[in-house]
Amino acid sequence: MEIKIINCSLEDAILQKHLSQIRLFLHDLTCNYPFFEEWLERVFSSIKSGERIIVACENAENIIGVAILKDTPYEKKICTIRVADGFRRQGIGTMLMIKSRELLKDNYPLITVSDEHIDGFRHFLSKFNFKEKCKVKSVYRYAHDEYYFNKPYLHQCVLISIRPQYARRIMSGEKTVEFRKVCFSNPNSKVYVYSSSPVRKILGYFEVEKIVKADPKSLWHQFADVGYVDTKDFQKYYEGKQQGYAICIKRFVNFRQAIDINDVFDEKFNIHPPQNYMYIDNVVIQRRLRLLE
């Protein structure tokens, strides 16, 4: 068996030959992950930039194991690690893991495993002292869990309910701060705006500049001029609360047309407009929303 590193240092003809073999080796994963072929194309194109590396294990005839790595300043990740049927429990996965950690210069990179394969991976990952951080439902496939090891999942998309009079102000650019009693965790999230009754439509999304956590008096002092909330309404909203949040809006992007929530989410998700906010984790739903921009 031989370990080969497929990276930006290879000549183009040799690289393309390796990539064709790897595409064939991973073909059956197209059934497990939406848009897998597109993702694989992005992987292949980013090898030249050095953001991806592939570790391949070969015998005399074929590829028998593959690890796909993401190596950026922001993320160290083992995207895929796979050993061919008939070659498992022969140390190939261990060889791939050791080489992957060496190339990433990180003994505890992010790796995720679907619920369909978690039983087979738990013992393997425990050998390297990988720790399960969380599991997230329906990220790739509806009602299926994805398990995250070493690094927690970061929610990237949020759906937030806002009263129509405030939603209009956000759309126009006048209201650049949204006050909240509770708030989502990731300030880098894309926040889709659901205008509540009587509009009941998703209008677009905004990017977050920052999220400020403070007591209500301090929030009012800092953001009253751009929050477009009446003093009495603000005081009533935060009555009895010791802290709150100000979501500072960088920019708002309108959809080409407002969209009903049921036209975005499949019926099986049984989604209702959130009272405050909800995370949108499913990659298929995220793509539908992007196509509306």
Q: What is the rounded radius of gyration, in angstroms, for the C-alpha atoms of the chain?
A: 23
Are residues 273 and 187 part of one domain?
A: yes
- What pTM was computed for the model? 0.90
32 and 92 in a single domain? The answer is yes
CATH number at 86 reads 3.40.630.30
CA–CA distance, 241 with 182 (Å, rounded to integer): 11
Tell me the CATH number at 262: 2.30.130.30
Q: How many CB atoms lie within 10 A of CB 154?
A: 11
Q: Which of 107, 139, 174 is the last residue of a domain?
A: 107
pLDDT for position 272? 87
The residue behind tokens 């999304």 is 205
Cα–Cα dist 125/103, whole Å: 18
61 with 165, same domain? no
Confidence band of 154 (pLDDT split at 50, 70, 90): very high
Q: Note whether residue 112 is domain-resident.
A: no
Mean pLDDT of the chain: 94
Rounded alpha-carbon distances, angstroms, from residue 242 to 63, 177, 193, 210: 60, 19, 26, 20
Query: Among 49, 77, 107, which residue terminates a domain?
Result: 107
Per residue in 246-266, pLDDT tens? 999 999 999 999 999 999 998
State the Cα–Cα distance between residues 51 and 62, nearest whole angstrom: 26
Do 173 and 284 fall within a single domain?
yes
Reading the block at residue 186, the tokens are 């990731």
176 and 243: one domain? yes
Which tokens in the block code for residue 77? 């990740």
pLDDT digits (tens, 9 = 90+) for 106-139: 999 999 999 999 999 999 999 999 999 999 999 9
Quote the number of domains for the chain: 2
Over residues 99-110, the pLDDT tens digits come to 999 999 999 999
What is the domain extent for residue 83?
Answer: 2-107
Q: What is the pLDDT of residues 183-195, one digit of tens each?
A: 998 999 999 999 9
Range with top average pLDDT, 31-40, 234-243, 262-271:
234-243
Do residues 259 and 161 both lie within one domain? Answer: yes
In a domain, 213, yes or no: yes
| Bridge partners (DSSP) listed for residue 132 | 149
Q: How many whole angstroms separate alpha carbon 25 and alpha carbon 273?
A: 42
In a domain, 211, yes or no: yes
